[in-house]
Amino acid sequence: MGRPIQKAKMVSGANDFGGNLSGKLAVTAYRPYGGAKVDSTTAYIVSQRGSKKFKIHLEDSSEETMLLKAVAPGSLANNNVNGMGEFCVQVILDDSTVAYVEKFYNRTIHYVTTAGATGTVKYTLGTEGTDEGAVANLGSIDVR
């Protein structure tokens, strides 16, 4: 699996909800297995289960293990071969390009842009309102 993500960057459980969630990894959209896509406003990564498997706190306050996919929200599948839901995390690169996280590392991410270009960049977690802008030499991951 490599180096896991720091726990401080993830929501540590249902008790954190209602508190200050700035600087936590937010989910852009998810699609449960066999379900409809949800453009998220309150879904967060709770824990890492594998290199691309994460436990997600969903909009309805339930938690489910899903696969990270580097695709736009409309391309999330509801019938993948693993029988799991899928989710995506959007990142804004320093040139304002929109990309999606393919894999998280401790301090860096591997991304895929909407045009199909790939790369690796260190990332930052800002606060709501500043997370949609470009940050010099960093990828800015969406937070809520």
Block mean pLDDT (10 aa), the chain, length 144: 66 56 80 92 87 90 93 91 90 90 89 94 72 69 70
Cβ atoms of residues 134 and 96 within 8 Å: yes
Could you identify the residue written with the tokens 């809520």? 144
Could you identify the residue written with the tokens 């709501």? 128
Query: Which pLDDT score is estimated for 19?
Result: 57
- Which pTM was predicted? 0.85
Query: Which pLDDT score is estimated for 83?
Result: 87
Going by C-beta distance under 8 Å and a sequence separation of 6 or more, which residues neighbour residue 42? 17, 57, 59, 144
Alpha carbon of 110 to those of 45, 60, 116: distances in Å? Answer: 17, 29, 12
Beta strand 90-92 with 85-88: parallel, antiparallel or unpaired? Answer: unpaired
Going by C-beta distance under 8 Å and a sequence separation of 6 or more, which residues neighbour residue 64? 32, 55, 56, 58, 85
Cβ atoms of residues 22 and 122 within 8 Å: no
Query: Which pLDDT score is estimated for 22?
Result: 59
Query: Which pLDDT score is estimated for 23?
Result: 64
Could you identify the residue written with the tokens 């959209």? 29
Residue pLDDT, tens place only, 102-114: 999 878 899 999 9
